[in-house]
Amino acid sequence: MSETNTVITEYLDKIGIAGLKDAINNRRYLSGCEPEIIEVKDEEHIVHTACRTCIANCGVIAHVRNGQVVKLEGDPVDPMSKGRMCGKGLSGINALYHPNRNKYPLVRVGERGGGRWKRVTWDEALDTVAGMLMEIYHKYGAEYVFGSTGGGGNPEVWSACRFCNIFGTPNWFEPGSAQCYLPRVLAAAMMYGGMDTSIADSNCLEFFDEENCPVRSLVLWGTDPSYSCTASGGRMVNELRQRGVKTVVVDPRLTPDAAKADVWLPLRPETDVALQMAWIRYILVNRLYDEEFVLHWTNLPYLVDCESRFIVHPADPKTSALVWDRKTASARVMDYPWNEDYDVELFGTHEIDGKLYKTGAQLLLERVDEYTLEKAGEICWLDPADIERAIRIYAENTPGSVCLGVATDQNINSEQSAMAANILDFLMGNVEKPGVAMQRFRISGVLKSPNYPVPVALKCLPEEQFLKRLGGREHKGLSIWYGGHAASILKAILTGEPYQPRMWIDRSGNKFGVLAEVGKWAEACEKLDYIVHMFTYPTSMTAYADVVLPCEEWLETEMVVETCNTLVARQQVVHLWETRDETVIWSNIAKRCGEMGHEMCRKSFDPEFMGEDLAYWDSMEEFFDQITPAQNMTWKEMCAKAPFEYLTKEEWKTYYVYKEPMEDGRPQGFNTPSRKLEVYCDGYIKLGRTGEPFMPYPMPPADRDYEPLPYYAEPTESPVRDDEISREFPLVMTNGRLPMFHHSTLRNIPGLRELMPVPEVWICPADAEKYGIVPGGWTWIESARGKIRAKAYVTKGIRPGCVYMERFWTPETLNTKTHGWQEMNVNVLTRSEAPFNDVVGTHVLRGFQVKVYPADGAPEGVRTEPQQFRSWLTVGRS
Amino acid sequence: MKKQYAMVVEADRCLGCHACQVACKFENDIALGTSRVHTYTMGPVGEFPKLSMYFLTVQCQQCEEPACTEVCPTGACFKSEEDGVVRIDPDSCIGCQSCLKACPFRANNFNREMRIADKCTICDQLREAGETPACVKNCPGGALHYGDILDPESEAGKLLAANEGYVYTLKDDGGNRPSGRFILKNEQWIDMLPFEFEEALREGRYDG
């Protein structure tokens, strides 16, 4: 493009006549129309940054011309995406220049939900927010404020948690956590002490070296990398498949990964633990496990006191346990790691001095004993022969891994499923050897907190405040992420028990799109004195908010991204309006609270007091300059250098970390109390009783002990329960990702929304016929909690008896009485009531009962055709 | 030597993610509701749970005997001698849409804003600058390739040779002789025009 044309084009962009740009470029007779021509130097440069449309952080090259981002493309040096970029990421330009960005701080004028706002300065906005916070603080106490983040589109997750700890409220939540990833992180921490096996959370790093990775089988359990992390994990799995790696996919829905799998197990939603128990049983009974590894490196041979249910450690658990020695037919003390002269028994029951003891393996076997292939087939609605074929693929093709996805995190069996998946890899010896997911590779040292660098400053939360955490006592597993329990907070607002929260401060990817049973949250909002909402554009939350703070889009934000052996700097490519990075906004609010007399907020800016928790910052640069010295550079220097390898691939990949010798020459083992893989994990009992090892202060015990071994609970609403619910609502609902959306974001991006203008409910042909549903027809979907509409996709790709939908809300109806969340939002139907998962408090997002029936048409005001999304286009684009 | 540039699609690798469509949209400024590239879902077919499904990404097939150039009243739509790519000259296109109707593969696109026809050139502007077409560059599955299919030394030619026996072209009842190539090893090729198949399946009219 010539320089003149560029200037004309930019001029036309400014006056906003769509399409004229092409006219000028392509049609000579139009260029004679002599618009104003300004002499400017055509400047173009590129910035190496990282995407944040989802959480995969793929490397991006952003092209900037005359101050405007004009093109994005994948960065080939990124070791996970390798130069590829998905549609979601490529749409970053549209998100950045979206006409409906939140541009300035706004304060509500008139009635809540009336949609009238006044622009204020940041100073005024911060005064207002801090004033609200301090009013609640003085009138009721800090715990009456609750914070939240998540739901998509956030640069990092810990800022809300950090602020809440410093402000003194224990009530912070993220709609994911117990419903997304936390159960798996917790199980990995408790049982292994290393990385979990979630592909979509940028783990399984070993597999990204596809050329050299000896992996032979992958079990994609409730995960669809092809949709959830297409350019990174989806790309990687695809490459491995092309190289002959065998795959099993466990998913009620025929995803691309399922279609390409060697065996697809379309189980009944949320019966996963029953299936996992059958896998464990089959592997034990048929002796397919790695016996050498199981004996030496798991705690399965250790004797458990059947009365206390704890493993017997005659001395320090790190150095000794009791095993049964067949040679002497006696219980003997095993010195870590192993006594060569013992003939250690794996399965056994013994009475010693009148007390009953069993090995961990014996207890595991007894726990899974009823789960034969036939029994699992019956529970999970699968053919036992298919289950057996799947197990054989996994067990006969090591090294391999069970890569557990989010599906099992979304029902009451969440923690148990994560435990069971770990057990499978432990039994097969798929730990820390080449070609497996569970690894402890080296890290750069820049990130001190898990995954993101913002320290949570737990020490700032006083003990008496910590003990007021809603749902904290019952669901102590949440404390691995220092978080509260969303459903308990909701209940407290609605009932006033044990106390009634008064203020919600939220950084939102539309909570009304991602929380369960959102009708109740709307009710709860009416009971709150103040609601503060920060995001990049208006969401349903905006309708309930009193103050709106404008956040930066990812092309404006900054973050250190560690991806395999490479450090990437997400850099501020451009900056628009008066937006700020949320990592700074929370700090700004703390500062104002400090100035208004909040002692801890004031101290949070004192480097000496904060120490490793870092003093709060006034800018991102100030923050990063406290952490990048781990790589001997400033943030500016890192931006200039990144992306770069902080270690060579060979230095970075450290296999068999557990074999590395300690000072006394013995192998260091795993990061668990016994240094062994804790298959029988009595740590869960301890966690439930005391909060160890995650809680900074002891908390009273949960009502019921947590189980040291996985167990299966039939979902609360279930088609096999012959009850009122199952009779009225006969179909099981499940959810799952689509490649054009992330969590609750991107429904306002024309180029993505046109690919899926309205949500589809998947239903198999037989069920469609039974319930009078026609292909492509508008359909009501109703649960015990509400009803919504979607278009029917009649397909064999969903298990009979089940339906599938992805989350949806409609930005186009924000300013109507529905506020965009009531029409087609599957989370109107989900369940926020007890029972929850015992350990982590998971509520039900998948695996609940619905009925379907034909609808007359689309909900009022909902945009269904591509042309209707034109008002969301970047000005100047056609 | 005669050249024929065209897309070579490894259908086994296609993840159905539509990144190609979005990449093309931004690179070529394609109007809403239209596209130069479509990803069709070829399935699921078969008996549950033994189902087959693959994805087919279809751009202009750069036909040897393209019907679109035949019907163009102004000569705007033409097949280039030097590389076999079919192009539309925006200056002489009058927007009659004859080429869209003539194309059996629904590969031509109508630019609603400019009111002229528009089609895949395998990103002329990028290739001229020594870069890769946007869809190929970003494809997460690594399914999309392009090149001179007549040159056995080209990347495309080598890929086709390595997959002999698994190379398909779109069903060609009109004798357009499409140059686009599809490699499919792991599923059974469905010999229907992909949009006809997809519509029939979605509407419950396909009984395969």
Residue A764 with chain B: CB contacts under 8 Å: 48
What is the CATH architecture assignment of A106-179+456-548+575-619?
Answer: 3-Layer(aba) Sandwich (3.40)
Confidence of residue B51 (pLDDT cuts 50, 70, 90): very high
- How are beta strands A263-265 and A246-250 bridged, if at all? parallel
> d(Cα A610, Cα A629) in Å, to the nearest integer?
17
Percentage of chain B beyond pLDDT 70 is: 100
- Picking from A26, A87, A254, the nearest residue to B21 by CB comes out as A87
Q: What is the mean pLDDT of residues B140-159?
A: 96
| CA of B143 vs chain A CAs: smallest distance (Å) | 10
Residue B203 with chain A: CB contacts under 8 Å: 775-776
Q: What is the mean pLDDT of residues A228-251?
A: 98
- Domain range for B21 is 5-65+120-202
Q: Render pLDDT for B74-127 as a digit per residue (tens, 0 to 9).
A: 999 999 999 999 999 999 999 999 999 999 999 999 988 889 999 999 999 999
Is the confidence at residue A38, as pLDDT, over 90? no
Q: Do B49 and A266 touch (CB under 8 A)?
A: yes
Q: Render pLDDT for A274-318 as a digit per residue (tens, 0 to 9).
A: 999 999 999 999 999 999 999 999 999 999 999 999 999 998 888
Q: Do B113 and A18 touch (CB under 8 A)?
A: yes
The 10 Å Cβ neighbour count of residue A141 is 16
Q: Render pLDDT for A75-125 as a digit per residue (tens, 0 to 9).
A: 999 999 999 999 999 999 999 999 999 999 999 999 998 889 999 999 999
Q: Specify the CATH number of the domain A195-439.
A: 3.40.228.10
Q: Render pLDDT for A132-151 as a digit per residue (tens, 0 to 9).
A: 999 999 999 999 999 999 99
Is the confidence at residue A536, as pLDDT, over 70? yes
Q: Radius of gyration over alpha carbons of chain A, in Å?
A: 28
pLDDT, greater one: A821 or A27: A821
Q: Render pLDDT for A581-625 as a digit per residue (tens, 0 to 9).
A: 999 999 999 999 999 999 999 999 999 999 999 999 999 999 999
User: Both tokens of residue B82?
Assistant: 């030097």
Q: What is the mean pLDDT of residues A489-518?
A: 97
Is the confidence at residue A25, as pLDDT, over 60? no
- Picking from A242, A751, A873, the nearest residue to B13 by CB comes out as A242
Residue B88 lies in a domain: no
- Picking from B17, B111, B137, the nearest residue to A87 by CB comes out as B17
Tell me if the domain spanning A724-830+847-872 has CATH number 3.40.1360.10.
Answer: no
Q: Do B19 and A866 touch (CB under 8 A)?
A: no
**Chain A residue with the nearest C-alpha to that of B198:** A795
| CA of B153 vs chain A CAs: smallest distance (Å) | 23
Residue B81 lies in a domain: no
Residue A24 with chain B: CB contacts under 8 Å: none
Question: Is the distance from CB of B9 to CB of B16 less than 8 angstroms?
Answer: no
Q: Do B49 and A386 touch (CB under 8 A)?
A: yes
Q: Do B114 and A22 touch (CB under 8 A)?
A: yes
Q: Do A27 and B53 touch (CB under 8 A)?
A: no
Q: Do A796 and B139 touch (CB under 8 A)?
A: no
Peptide bond into A739 cis (omega under 30): no
Starting at the edge strand found earlier in the chain, the sheet holding A566-570 runs A559-563, A566-570, A644-645
Least confident of A35-39, A787-791, B52-56, B107-111: A35-39
Q: Do B23 and A256 touch (CB under 8 A)?
A: no
CATH topology of domain A3-96: N-terminal domain of TfIIb (2.20.25)
Of the candidates B82, B79, B80, B87, the one whose C-alpha atom is nearest the C-alpha of residue B108 is: B87
**Chain A residue with the nearest C-alpha to that of B144:** A84
- Picking from B12, B17, B134, the nearest residue to A230 by CB comes out as B17
Is the confidence at residue A459, as pLDDT, over 60? yes
Go through chain B and tell me how many residues it has: 208
CATH number of the domain encompassing residue B144: 3.30.70.20
The mean of the pLDDT values for chain A is: 94
Q: Do B91 and A27 touch (CB under 8 A)?
A: yes
Confidence of residue A40 (pLDDT cuts 50, 70, 90): low
Q: Where are the domains of chain A?
A: 3-96, 106-179+456-548+575-619, 195-439, 724-830+847-872
| SS3 labels along A410-472 | HCCCHHHHHHHHHHHHHHCCCECCCCCCECCCCCCCCCCCCCCCCCCCHHHCCHHHHCCCCCC
Residues 6+ apart with CB under 8 A from A537: A98, A100, A101, A102, A748, A811
- Picking from A235, A793, A795, the nearest residue to B142 by CB comes out as A235
The mean of the pLDDT values for chain B is: 96
Write down the pTM of the prediction: 0.95
Q: Do B186 and A260 touch (CB under 8 A)?
A: yes
pLDDT of residue A22: 52
> d(Cα B205, Cα B188) in Å, to the nearest integer?
20
Q: Do A22 and B113 touch (CB under 8 A)?
A: yes
Residue A238 with chain B: CB contacts under 8 Å: 13, 15, 140-142
pLDDT of residue A6: 47
Backbone angles phi, psi at A143, to 5 degrees: -70, -10
Residue B106 lies in a domain: no
Q: Do A18 and B140 touch (CB under 8 A)?
A: no
Confidence of residue A707 (pLDDT cuts 50, 70, 90): very high
**Chain B residue with the nearest C-alpha to that of A254:** B44
Q: Do A235 and B140 touch (CB under 8 A)?
A: yes
Task: List the single best residue of B13, B15, B112, B121 to mutate versus A (max A Cβ within 10 A).
Answer: B15
Residue B124 with chain A: CB contacts under 8 Å: none
Residue B103 lies in a domain: no
- Picking from A90, A797, A865, the nearest residue to B23 by CB comes out as A90
How many domains are there within chain B? 1
Q: Do A878 and B31 touch (CB under 8 A)?
A: yes
Question: Is the distance from CB of A533 to CB of A552 less than 8 angstroms?
Answer: no
Residue B132 with chain A: CB contacts under 8 Å: none
Whether A3-96 shares its CATH topology with A724-830+847-872 is answered no
User: Both tokens of residue A326?
Assistant: 């067949």
Residue A739 with chain B: CB contacts under 8 Å: 15-19
| CA of A27 vs chain B CAs: smallest distance (Å) | 6
